[in-house]
Amino acid sequence: MTLPVLNTTHDPTRRSWIPSANRPDHDFPVQNLPWGVVRSGPGEPERLGVAIGDLVLDVATVAPILDLPEDDRRLLLAARLDPLLAADPAAWSRIRRALFDLLAAPENPGVPDGALLRLEEVTPALPCTIGDYTDFYASRHHATNVGRMFRPDAPLLPNWLHLPVGYHGRASSLVPSGTSVRRPSGQREDSPGAPVFGPSRLLDYECEVGALLGGANPLGTPVPIARAGERIFGLCLVNDWSARDIQKWEYQPLGPFLAKSFATTLSPWIVTTEALAPWRIPVAARAPDDPPLLPHLVDPSDQVAGGFDLTLEVLLDTAGMREAGHPAFRVSLGSFREMAWTLAQMVAHHASNGCNLRPGDLLASGTVSGPEPESRGCLLERTWRGSEPLMLPGGEQRTFLEDGDRVTMRAWCETARGRGGAIRIGFGSCVGTVLPAPIGMDDTQESTA
């Protein structure tokens, strides 16, 4: 078995006629070409775009000059990714190659000025119609850490080693990066057996990687593991905001509900799996005493190249830090390398009962954590349930999020770790700021159940 084949679009020597795309530290060189949807101003229509350097290419305006079949060009005229996601991977690849050829030309081949928007001047929107959202729990380090907090004698439940554990999220509360998030209210058990209703006091973020799906399988038709990776159009960052105190009270026996459904933030840009080909890696090794996987979750190619070598960073700045001019504080620096379950395994497991996965469905990895405290992907772990507060610039402390706190997540693929001399590509930022709970839900007006 071999890793995915690299092609012309991964050539590290190619440069763009757009100067900003050629900076070595930029997230969006011509080898990346991530997809997104943006608005150029309030009330303006959504536009399907590709990020290139400091600009966004409005693909509908250049569709007529791309060297593509007419059916492929029509996919680019929509305001969102929906038609493209419904197409097959061959079309995804043809369109990527055509855009690469356009943007990697020695000079502007006739792209009109109005086709290029300044990245800093546009507002991101959701990339497509996301009908369903499923969140997984696929990091062994995260699952073990949380298990130790609540079940010291049995951190991993028996099923965790046999299948990628997941639950259905709430698609209607997915929001694009930059959207502020209101602190949720719900029932908390402040004292045993006596819940109160009020704003969450233990608000947290979760640093995750999302997979946007393309294609479709009819209801009742599983997706075999050998084909599951073909369903993944691209990856993004996901902040699955979590109210830990609400979750602790409500999650037994059915799992998260109000503690998660109030908001989930997506980064603006979908980095395609083809762009990520140089950073495909083997799945993390299982422990010697782990049970063998059942056959429907094992494919040799997925074991060799089902992983993605991404670096993940979480930054936090408070209202006080911003006022004082302090830079954001790095809370964690982690890696997607050590995930115990691959995204293809999540797809195959999800559809193994015949569930029909549709174009635009979103899967999220669950919190991505590593072995060291500095690589833990949420405050629950990073502060160990609040027992190890973070010391921030200016003297503030944090155990969980306060109103006015801003969380920024970033991800990139390191140049030195890619095959074929691949140059760095990035995901942009996933940003959200905490707003106070709605008026009338403050602590002075909490109600007892």
Among candidate residues 26, 141, 142, 349, the one labeled active-site is: 142
C-alpha to C-alpha distance for 354 and 356, rounded to whole angstroms = 6
How far apart, in Å, do the first and last CA atoms of the chain sit?
59
Q: 297: left (phi > 0), else alpha (psi -120 to 50), else beta?
A: alpha
Gyration radius (Cα) of the chain, Å:
22
C-alpha to C-alpha distance for 214 and 182, rounded to whole angstroms = 31
User: What residues are paired with 425 via a beta bridge?
Assistant: 413
C-alpha to C-alpha distance for 365 and 381, rounded to whole angstroms = 17
C-alpha to C-alpha distance for 274 and 88, rounded to whole angstroms = 13
**In a 3-state reduction of DSSP, which class is residue 355?**
coil
Cis omega (within 30 of 0) on the bond before 253?
yes
Half-sphere exposure of residue 301: CA atoms within 13 angstroms, side-chain side: 12
Is residue 249 within a helix (H) or strand (E), and if so which, with residue range?
helix 244-250
| Catalytic (active site) residue 326 | no
- Sign, CA torsion 249/254/257/259: positive
Q: Mind telling me the catalytic residues?
A: 142
